[in-house]
Amino acid sequence: VYSLDGLLVFGLLLVCTCAYLRKVPRLRSWLLSERRGIWGVCHKAAVIGTRLHVAVSVSCLLMAFYVLVGK
């Protein structure tokens, strides 16, 4: 997370993970019901991941290509 590349990868992984956890009913009510603090960040990341799923998936593919080939 010390470079821009690492920060972008961390952000994409956070959004994708939280969006995935939002689809699991038990975890949704347990983890993503709080809207303040660190769980609020996870809730907001899950909302971004579900609403912008096409943009997030394209960014994940581009970032994977960059990390594997570009670096």
For residue 54, what pLDDT is reported? 93
For residue 1, what pLDDT is reported? 57
For residue 32, what pLDDT is reported? 67
10-residue mean pLDDT series, the chain (71 residues): 85 92 80 76 88 92 91 73
For residue 23, what pLDDT is reported? 86
For residue 60, what pLDDT is reported? 92
Burial class (CB in 10 A: 0-12, 13-18, 19+), 31: middle
